[in-house]
Structure 1
Amino acid sequence: MQAKDKVIVLTGAGSGIGQELAIQLLRKGARVAGIDIHSDALAQTQALAGVGDDQFKAFVLDISDKQKVDALPAEVIQHFGTVDGLINNAGIIQKFIPINDLNIEDIQRVINVNFYGTVYLTKAFLPLLLERPAAHIVNVSSMGGFIPFPGQTVYGAAKAAVKLFTEGLYAELKATPVRVTVVHPGAIATNIVENSGLGKPSISSAQANRALPAAKAAELIIKAMERDQFRVMVGKDASFMDLFYRLNPQRAVDFIQRKMADVMR
C-alpha cells in the first residue's frame, strides 16, 4: 500500500522510530493519526513535521487501556473521515534484570503495552480497514522477538507474541484487501530506555555508533509497507541474528548470552 493520500494510525508517534515514521509518512503525502502517551512529544513531532491538524492529529492515549482504545476509531473517523493503515510501533522494554528479580507488576506492564496494546489497536481498527479497497497493518516486533536476550526475557516474550500474532493475521487476511507486515528491528538509536521509565541508558560510544539511526529504520519500515512485505529485518544485526538463529539456535542463544553478560552484571 502506497502511503500517499492514505490515513495512517501510528502508535508511539512522539519519539524514536515513531516520530521518524510520522515525519516521513507526512512527507510522502499521507495523513497521520499520531498516538502517544506524552502530549508534549506529539506536539514536538507535529512541530518538526511543520504541518497542521488537517495532516497530523495528535491523540494522547495509553494503548494498554482497552476502553480508551475502543473509543479511538470513532475519533479518528470524525477527524479524517477514513482509515487506511495501522502501524503498531509503540513499545517499552523491561529493567535489565533476570526474571527471578523482576516483580509481577513490571512483567504485566511490559506485556500489556507491547502485546495487548498491539492487539487492542488491531481489533479496534480492523473492521474499518476491511472496508477499504487497500489497507495495511504493520506490527513492530523486535530482534528479541525471535531470539532471547537475558535481562529482557519478558520483553522478548511479548515481542514474540507480537510476531506470531502478526503472522497469524497475515494468514487470516490473505483473501482480504488488508496486507500485513511484521518488523524486527535490531539496535536502533532511540530513547526507548528512558521512555520505558528506566532512566538514562548506560551504553558505550561504540554501542551507540553501531545502532541504526531511527530515520533509517523508519525509511525501511515504510518501504516494507509500500512493497507489501511479509517480514522485514531492520539493521544488519537483526539480519545476522535471524540467519544465525535459523542455522543453529543453541549457538546463537549462547552467543547472545555472552554478549549480554556485562549488561547483566
Structure 2
Amino acid sequence: MKVSNKEKIKLVMDINFYGTLYMTKSFLPHLLERPVGHITNVSSMGGFLPVPGQSIYGASKAAVKLLTEGLSAELKDTNINVTVVFPGGVGTNIMQNSGVDRSRNKEASEEDMAKLLTPKEAAEIIVQGTENDEYRVLAGKDSKLLDKMYRLSPKRASELIAKKMN
C-alpha cells in the first residue's frame, strides 16, 4: 500500500505533535490534583535546527518544543514542573525508519553509530533532568554542541547539518 505525501505529513504530525498534546491534556487534570507533578516532552535537535529531508519531522518537533515551553509558562504557579528534551543521536532504528538514505556512506554511518548514546544513556540523562526540574535537557554531546552553535549562528549550523547529510 503506497502512502501519499499528505498522509505521511498527517502521520508524522499525529504521532509527534498531536500524540504529545493529547497525552499531556489527558494527564494534566490528574497531575494538578497531586501534591507535585512533572511533564516531560521529547522534542528533537530537529526541533531547533533544520535537517534537510526532514522538514515535516522538524516542524512536528518544533511544535512539541513550543507546546512544552508554553505549558511551562502557563503552569508556573502550579505544582507541575515542565521539561522539554532535545536528544541528539541515540542508537535506535530511527534512521532506518526516517527515510534518510545512509547507504552511500556506510563506513561513516558505522563510525557515527559508535558516537551515539545508547538508549539507556539517553534515558538516564532524561530522567536526571526531570528529577532536577530542568527546563531544557540536551541529551548527548551532539545536541549540546549543535544547540550552542545554532544559538550563535543559525545559518552556519544549518549549513553544517546540510553538509553532513550529504
Instruction: Give the whole-Å Cα distance in 2 for the aligned partners of 1:104 and 1:182.
Output: 28
Mapping of 1:17-36 within 5 angstroms? none
Instruction: Give the whole-Å Cα distance in 2 for the aligned partners of 1:120 and 1:249.
Output: 31
| Richer in strand (by share) | 1
Instruction: Give the whole-Å Cα distance in 1 for the aligned partners of 2:98 and 2:65.
Output: 24
Helix, strand or coil for the counterpart of 1:130? helix
**Aligned CA-pair RMSD:** 1.9
Q: Provide structure 1 residue ranges, at least 5 long, that are not aligned to the other structure.
A: 1-101
TM-fit CA distance, 1:139: 0.1
Q: Which structure has the larger Rg over C-alpha atoms?
A: 1
Mapping of 1:61-100 within 5 angstroms? none
TM, length-normalised to structure 1 = 0.57
TM, length-normalised to structure 2 = 0.90
TM-fit CA distance, 1:103: 1.0
1:81-126, Cα deviation, whole Å (9 max, x unpaired): xxxxxxxxxxxxxxxxxxxxx7111111001100000001011110
Helix, strand or coil for the counterpart of 2:33? coil
How high is the sequence identity, in percent, across the aligned residues? 54
Query: Which protein has greater RCO, CA pairs closer than 8 Å, 6+ apart?
Result: 2
TM-fit CA distance, 1:191: 2.0
2:77 aligns with one of 167, 175, 178 = 175
For residue 14 of structure 2, what is the aligned residue in structure 1?
A: 112
Letter in 2 for 1:178: I
Mapping of 1:220-239 within 5 angstroms? 220-239=125-144
Q: What is the number of residues matched between the two proteins?
A: 159
| Richer in helix (by share) | 2
For residue 83 of structure 1, what is the aligned residue in structure 2?
A: none
Helix, strand or coil for the counterpart of 1:183? strand
1:158-191, Cα deviation, whole Å (9 max, x unpaired): 0000000000000000100011000000110012
Instruction: Give the whole-Å Cα distance in 2 for the aligned partners of 1:226 and 1:197.
Output: 31
1:62-98, Cα deviation, whole Å (9 max, x unpaired): xxxxxxxxxxxxxxxxxxxxxxxxxxxxxxxxxxxxx
